[in-house]
A and B are shown apart, each in its own frame.
Chain A
Amino acid sequence: MIKVGIPRSLLYYSYFPLWRAFFTEMGAEVVVSPETNKAILDAGLRSALDETCLPVKLFFGHVLALTGSVDYLLVPRLISVEPKAYICPKFMGLPDMLRARIPNLPPLIDVAVDFSRGTGNWENVLSSMGRLLAGDRRLIRQACRSAQAAQSLFQEQLEKGWLLPEALNGAAGERGTERPAPPSPGSGRLNIALLGHDYNIYDEYISMNLIKRLRSMGARVATADLVSQAVIDEQAGTLPKKLFWTLGKKMIGAAFAFCDSGQFDGIIYVSSFGCGPESLVGELLARWVKRRRGIPFMLLTIDEHSGAAGLVTRLEAFTDMLLRREKG
C-alpha cells in the first residue's frame, strides 16, 4: 500500500479531513506525523532557515519526522484558496524550501492550489494529486466526492461549536455514524475570543496548552472557526481596502463579529514571532478593536523560546483584569 505522509502542521489544521478522505479512498495509507514534541521542534530549528517564522520551522520538523517512512509527502503549494487573497509567501515557496534544505526527501505531492483568479477548485487539485498516484478516473472522482463530504462535515462541526481538534477527531470517525451533540458551552464566567492561526492555537505544544489553561481559569473560549465564511467575508468587507491575506481576513472578520455580538469580555490574539502578515494584521486589529468596542485586547507573541511560566503570568493578569472589569 502506498504511504502518503501528511505533516501535522500549517494547513493540516484546515484541510486534513479533505486530504485524509481523498487519499484513503484512493487506496493509500495516510501517515500523519506525531503531535509536536521537542524532538520535532529541534529538528525543524536545525534544518529551516533561522530567519523564518516558528510555524515554518516546525513544518520542517514534521516533514523530517515523516522522511524515510513514507512514499510520498503531501506538501501542496498553497498559493490561494479564495479569489484575490493569498495565504502567505512562505506557503507559496514551501516545496522549494524543503527541496533546497532537506536531503533525501520523498517525492512531494506539490500540486499548486491557486484560486486567486476565481478559477480552480479543490476537485481539480485533488484530481491532479490523484493522477500523480496513477489512480484511474473513476476512482479519483469517487475519492473527490468523499473528500468533499468529509470536509463539509468538518466545517459544519466547527460552526456548531466544536473546537477544531475535537472536530478533527470527529471527522476521523467512520462515515455514517451519528455526530455527537456539540459540547456544552462550559460553565466559565468569562467569555474569551481566542484568535490566531490554527497551526498556532491548536498545536498544544506550541500554544503551551493555551486553550486548556484558559478553560481551567474559568473562561469559555471561542475561536474564529465558530464564525461562518459568509460572516467573515461580510465583516472583512467593511475595511477601506480588501485584505489580501486569507488568514488575516479570518482573524479580522471574526474579531469584528465577536465585537458586534457584545458577548465577549476579552480578545486574545496569538501571533508567531517573525510572522509577516500578522505584524500588520495584529496591529490593525488592536487599533480597530479599541476604537470599535473597547474590548480588552491582548497580543501574545510566541517563539521557540517562549516558556509556560511567562504565559501563565500573562494569562492570569489578563483574566484577573477582565474579572475586575466585570465587577466594576
Chain B
Amino acid sequence: MKITYPHMGNLYIAIRALLLKLGLDPVLPPPTSRKTALLGVRHAPEFACFPLKLNLGNFLEAREMGADTVLMGGGIGPCRFGYYAEVQREILADLGVSMEMVVLEPPSGDWVTFKTRTRSLVGDCSWWQVLKAIRFAWYKARAVDALESKLLYLRPRLCEPLQLEAIYREALRRVDMAENRRGLDLAVSDFLKDTRGLPGKSGDLLRVGLVGEIFTVLDPYANYDIERHLGLLGVEVTRSIFLSEWINEHLFGGLFHVGGLDHLKEAASPYLNAFVGGHGRETVGATVHFARQGYDGVVQVAPFTCMPEIVAHSVLPAVTRDHGIPTLSFYLDEQSGVAGIVTRLEAFVDLLEARRKKRLKEGV
C-alpha cells in the first residue's frame, strides 16, 4: 500500500511521521502549486470549496508518483469538509482512477473505535505502537507550531527577513527528518539560537490577528502567503489556531488535553451565540479576543462560499462597532490574484497605521 494524503501547510510533516511509525509507505504529493490547483479545479465541482479542489489536485499528482491509497479526514457536518472524501471518491471513480480512500472520521476520544476504524492503516501494530506513533506525530506538530509562531514574531522585526526564512526552512527540514524527540527539541532550540543574533529593526510594530477557516489559515498556497505579505509589510501576525490544535481536534478526537478553544467560543457571544460549523464561532471569538488584547486589526481568511465563515463575517461589523477593531476579510479560490490581495493588505495596513497615530495623538 502506497498511501498519500492532502497538503495543508506543514501538516505533511506530522502525518509523514505518523505513517512511518506505523510502518506504512507514505507518498508525499509535490508541494501544492498552480498545476495542482488547475488539476483540482478541472475535475472538482465549480462551487466546491477551494480546499476540496486543492486536495483533489494533490491526490492526482500523488497518483502519478505511484500512490494507490488516500488518507483523508472526515466529519459530521454541517461544514462541507465532512463530505469532501465522499465527493472526491466519486470524482476519482468517474475518472477511472482507482485509489482507495481511507477516511479518518473523528473518533470520540475512544481508542477502540479509533483502532477498528483505522484497521487498514494500523495493520498488526500493537496498541502501544499506535499510541507511540500518534504521540510522536503530535510532538512534530508542536515543533512545527513553535517554528511557525517564532517566524511570525520575528519576520517584521528583522532587517533581513529572507535570511530568517532560509533558517526557518532548514529548521523545518530538520523537524521533518527527526526520528525522535531529542532530534525535534534540538531542531527547535537551534532555530531559536540561530535567529537570536540576527540584526533587528526598532520601532513599534502593528499587530494583526489572523482568523478564519483553518485550511486557509494554515496553508500558504491557499491564502496566497498572506502571513508573509503582512510580515514583510512590517506587521506582526498572530494566528488564532495552530496545526497541533487542528490535528488534535480532527484526527485524534481531542485525545490530547491541551487548552482547547473554549475561551474563543465564549468570547463570541453575544455576537454569535451558537455553533455554526467549522470554526465560525472561533473566528468571532478570536476577533473579540484580539481586540481585547489591544491588537490593531484582524484579517479573516476563508475559502470562497465557506458557510461558517460567511456567518462569522456577517456579524463582524457588530464586533467592530463595539470594540473598535478594524477587520478585513478575504474569500479565496483559484481565481484570487496575489496582486489584488497585496493591494488590499497595503491599504489595510495604512489604515491601521493612521488609526494608531491618531490614537497616540489623542493620548488614548
Complex contact A52–B310 (CB within 8 A) = yes
Give every chain A residue within 8 A of B306 (Cβ-Cβ). Answer: 276
- Given contacts A86-B277, A89-B307, A92-B275, are A279 and B318 in contact (CB under 8 A)? no
Interface residues of A in 268-304 (CB under 8 A from B): 273-280, 282-284, 287-288
Least CB distance, A240 to chain B, in whole angstroms: 6
B220 at the interface (CB under 8 A from A): no
Complex contact A93–B48 (CB within 8 A) = no
B83 to chain A: closest residue by CB:
A280
CA distance A51 to B273 in the complex (A): 21
- Given contacts A100-B318, A279-B47, A287-B90, are A93 and B274 in contact (CB under 8 A)? yes
B314 at the interface (CB under 8 A from A): yes
Interface string of B45-61 (1 = CB under 8 A from A): 11111000000000000
CA distance A97 to B308 in the complex (A): 12
B114 at the interface (CB under 8 A from A): no
CA distance A274 to B103 in the complex (A): 27
A245 at the interface (CB under 8 A from B): yes
User: Which of these, B74, B91, B307, B312, contacts A276 with CB under 8 Å?
Assistant: B307
A52 to chain B: closest residue by CB:
B310
B20 at the interface (CB under 8 A from A): no
User: Which of these, A85, A89, A288, contacts B276 with CB under 8 Å?
Assistant: A89
A49 at the interface (CB under 8 A from B): yes
B52 to chain A: closest residue by CB:
A280
Complex contact B276–A92 (CB within 8 A) = yes
Least CB distance, A317 to chain B, in whole angstroms: 20
A314 at the interface (CB under 8 A from B): no
User: Which of these, B48, B78, B85, contacts A88 with CB under 8 Å?
Assistant: B78
Complex contact B77–A244 (CB within 8 A) = yes
B87 at the interface (CB under 8 A from A): yes
B281 to chain A: closest residue by CB:
A93
A160 at the interface (CB under 8 A from B): no
- Given contacts A49-B313, A284-B87, are A89 and B272 in contact (CB under 8 A)? no
A-B contact count (CB 8 A): 127
Interface residues of B in 329-348 (CB under 8 A from A): 331
Complex contact B76–A276 (CB within 8 A) = no
Interface string of B103-119 (1 = CB under 8 A from A): 10000000000000000
User: Which of these, A96, A275, A288, contacts B272 with CB under 8 Å?
Assistant: A96
Complex contact B87–A49 (CB within 8 A) = no
Complex contact A241–B305 (CB within 8 A) = no
User: Which of these, A84, A86, A96, contacts B273 with CB under 8 Å?
Assistant: A96
Interface string of B254-281 (1 = CB under 8 A from A): 0000000000000000011111111010
Give every chain A residue within 8 A of B94 (Cβ-Cβ). Answer: 287
CA distance A49 to B329 in the complex (A): 12
Interface string of A40-56 (1 = CB under 8 A from B): 00000000110110000
A96-B271, A277-B78, A280-B48 known; 10 other A-B pairs, CB under 8 Å?
A: A48-B314, A51-B305, A86-B78, A88-B78, A89-B276, A93-B315, A100-B271, A243-B83, A274-B305, A287-B91
Residues of chain A touching chain B, judged by Cβ–Cβ distance below 8 Å, are 48-49, 51-52, 77, 79, 84-90, 92-93, 95-97, 99-101, 112, 239-241, 243-245, 273-280, 282-284, 287-288
Closest A-B pairs by Cβ, 5 of them:
A244-B77, A93-B311, A86-B78, A279-B47, A283-B45
